[in-house]
Structure 1
Amino acid sequence: MTVHPLVTAGFDTPFGDLHVLVSPEDSVVRAAGFRPLRDVAAGLPSVLAARGWEAGEMPHVEHAVDAWLDGDADAVTTVAVDQPGGPFFQEVWAALRSVPGGEVVSYQELAQMAGRPRAMRAVGTACARNGIAPFVPCHRVIQSGGRLGSYGFGGTSVKAAMLEHEGFRVASHSPDASVTVAR
């Protein structure tokens, strides 16, 4: 069986360039983020990284990103994704994909959604290790009390801008900023 390189594409967004890596045999997103391609690819498991990558088309991802940018906040969570992680991380990432666009959850709420109500710190670790943003929308997780919190995919300004795009008002783009619904 021939092993093909991963396919990569970049998408211009108001939040910065979104780089995506997809396995061509199943069209599953394996890595994505608002960082340089080499940094996004660095999160790949070694067996996938060894395949290398080449620029190509991924119309299903392009359609989802365009729909998201046009206001369908749930479009990015319809794309098939896969990333390595233990059962708890997989549960957290699945729970994240169930948070509707235009809503946010706290780390504590996400822990409850994942079936581990006292695992807030572990949920934070799962969010930090998510290598498929925004398709696993960890930008929708905020601290208790409505504070923005950090964001490893480009900093709090990127997180704030994505939340504003999805209908929230952010007082400032610092981690201590509060997030309020502006409907």
Structure 2
Amino acid sequence: MTIETATTAARTTPAATLHWSGVDTPDGRFTAVFDDAGIVFASGWTDDPDYLRVLIAPPLRTDEITEVDGGDVIAAVDAYYAGDLAAPSQIPVRQTSGPFLTAAWAALREVPAGKPVTYTRLAELAGNAAAVRGAASCCARNAAALFVPCHRVVRTDGTLGGFRYGLDVKRSLLGREAAAAA
């Protein structure tokens, strides 16, 4: 997995080429933006790759993205929906931000399917128990949905909180994962 901090040299170097591919899922069309090496830069339940492109941190963004076969990236999405809930965690991700968000994104990739955590717990896992708002920001700024599973974070009272792709999708993902974990 690649998660970068604001101090890395790669922060100012975008990928030479970014591509996109999509697949139909039970939760709607899923699209991913990735580089030649299959590293995911952005993804989510949309059929609009340009929507995803603008979610990528400006230093990493390219002006154009081209449609290609999704290879391992789309295969991981298909595998997830076929029951291999860990498949997306095997795909590298490239996002860039400061140290806390970077740590929080890395921590999210370790949250197992079927065992959602609270924003408070995510802050603890990211190394700063007092940064509960930062944990919420981590989820809101996550460009690589499913590959960085921000849907696995809930409020302290167990309610869902927000999700860029809607609460119906979040509820569906959590339900699928809970059923598989049971």
Letter in 1 for 2:99: P
- Pick aligned residue for 2:90 from 78, 101, 119: 78
Output the CA distance in 2 between the equivalents of 1:119 and 1:96: 15
Q: Is the 8 A contact 1:73 1:102 kept in 2?
A: no
- Pick aligned residue for 2:31 from 19, 32, 35: 19
**Corresponding residue of 2:169:** 158
Give the deviation of 1:61 after TM superposition. Answer: 0.9
Calculate the TM-score normalised by the size of structure 2: 0.85
Superposition map of 1:13-162 within 5 A: 13-24=25-36, 26-35=37-46, 36-152=48-164, 154-162=165-173
Give the deviation of 1:27 after TM superposition. Answer: 1.9
Count residues in correspondence: 167
Calculate the TM-score normalised by the size of structure 1: 0.85
Cα RMSD of the aligned pairs, angstroms, is 1.8
Structure 1 segments (4+ residues) deviating >4 Å: none
Q: Is the 8 A contact 1:92 1:110 kept in 2?
A: yes
Q: Is the 8 A contact 1:139 1:162 kept in 2?
A: yes
Give the deviation of 1:104 after TM superposition. Answer: 0.4
Letter in 2 for 1:21: V
Higher relative contact order (CA 8 A, sep 6+): 2
Q: Is the 8 A contact 1:107 1:124 kept in 2?
A: yes
List runs of 5+ in structure 1 lacking aligned partners. Answer: 169-180
